[in-house]
Structure 1
């Protein structure tokens, strides 16, 4: 009898192998979307460059928290160590990036590395800084804000943009806002007609628990200013549209360079016009 296989994907997902001496791009991915979403970015890199996704959803203590109430039995530091253990030494230069909560993990990884192994800079993909300004109680995340984020996520997950009229969810709670999201998603072709509201509510609850998990991991974490330059790529429809720096200025004593990407927080990872922004930033020194 064969022993049972571990169906969980590997932490380090190789999407494209770098040629000898060429650059490898490592991207810290916190889940929500499949790690395969970076295949377009891998293909957009110059010939010979490689890309590996460091996938947090392959770490049980992290992934299972989104299914069990959003409380993870781990820490930012422990997760950073787990990702570093999966990091294969690059045969050539390398770049490190982190999308969303992955930016916090990428910064923690940099601090845990020997100085001689650090990348030249850290690229943050619409990542919110782990600073006190964004460490708010769980109930500070208002339902209309979460519903708007969920709508962006749903559109990216289904491959069909779900565009809500600006302000349509203002003041809505989950019970009156989720039917609006459902009707709009069906009209956009992101969900099939007849999709049951309880099923969408289950997906929404899991999504919110994932956000709360990340929020609760960041709250006790004390981020240290980066020992290298930071590059922030903010989506045109970012989760925090009113903060151009997403809170990173206090953590960037060696410089913070800003760029804008088409799309929203989720679609920026796969849109052709967004990849035209991201690929050069991850390739160049």
Structure 2
């Protein structure tokens, strides 16, 4: 039976984008709206909280010393040691009022990164492919693109449109991470919207159900096989963490809450750790050229 504990009691306005850096034995995640990057070992008492000059959403490992940070200001290399930033590319979505959102690195070293409208405009959601300096638009016509993740063999990509309550799957080239088929409905989600996701070594897709106080596991055929309840209603993204990748870090948010609602749900925005019978896969490094 999985057990849930609080990893960090720092309440994030919009906690998102968790990742595990094996060389540092640290978890990283963002508070998007408050422009923070949080860094924490699993045995640390509290996270280090780094201020950022932009709204960042993804930290993709480049090597032991650097992340590739995706944000509403573009793509930047960030030194893990001292926090210095180097711009690689200005923000790439030409439409006003858009920002980066979800993302993950394909086994071929390609970063899939989504963009969306700040006001959740229908059709503004897109997914992009980036590798070694090349950027391509690969999915268009979404609203809030989330759940970007990949099957263990790299032949299938998953993504969601949170407002449509749908997770899609898409055939991709395992050698490049580029799509080579049309998207299909993987599953429909009820009782909340499908937010961030990650795939375990056994091929199960673990999805945070925003508004549903849960993380759900789906088998490769799209069948719901397990649900883990969490204290926060707005859970946002899971990531496998730890030396053996056998623990699940889950972010959450108090976005949209007034003072009365925050008082009624003090668990909102905390970061959780789930221990259970599962194991993740090492996340590939992104190729920057």
TM-score w.r.t. the length of structure 2 is 0.26
Larger radius of gyration: 1
Q: Identify the structure with bigger relative contact order (alpha carbons < 8 Å, sequence gap 6+).
A: 1
